[in-house]
Amino acid sequence: MIRSQNDIKDKFRTLSETTTRRITRIKKRLYEISPDFDWLTDGKDRKKLSKLIVTKRRERKEQPDAADKLVYQVFLRGQWLKKELSRLQEENAKLRIYLEKFRCLAEERKAQELHVPRILEREKKNLDKELNEQRKVYKRNLSIIDDLYIDYQRCTNPESNCAILRSERF
């Protein structure tokens, strides 16, 4: 709270100092304008002041030319176009960066896609080899089972039936 009170005091002190400076500047300027005029006594009389102080009206151009207006509009349009051009160039630069990144990613993906069929082809060859080996093992096991079946039939049945069994099997 004390701090805020000190801040308020400082604020009013600076404001009062600035107002006194402004008042002295105004008084100096008034004495420069008319050193004979008694500002303290006659300063409140508006009639005397109006005789002393003459306001100067600003010199205004007549209506600006239509050509000047057009030139100014063209100038503003040119400035806007320059800003828009620089903005679009920055945007294009950013888009080029993204385009290059996407191209690199597309090339990598394409290389991977080309690599995948090769891998699949190798896997297919390996699986075909394994399948052929399994078929060979299956045929070998089947022939062993057939031989064992025939041997079993020989042991249990007479000799004539074995020849018939062999002809049925193959």
For the ranges 7-11, 32-36, 48-52, 120-124, the one whose mean pLDDT is highest: 120-124
User: For residue 47, is pLDDT > 80?
Assistant: no
Q: Identify residue 38 by its one-letter amino acid code.
A: D
Integer angstrom CA distances of residue 30 from 18, 47, 52: 18, 16, 10
Which of 40-74 are b and which e, b meaning 16 or more Cβ less than 10 Å from the residue's Cβ?
eeeeeeeeeeeeeeeeeeeeeeeeeeeeeeeeeee
Average pLDDT, the chain: 81
Look up residue 6 and give its two tokens.
Answer: 């000190």
- pLDDT tens digits for 72-105? 999 999 999 999 999 999 999 999 999 999 999 9
In contact, 152 and 165? CB cutoff 8 Å = no
- pLDDT greater than 60 at residue 170: no
| More confident call, 40 vs 79 | 79
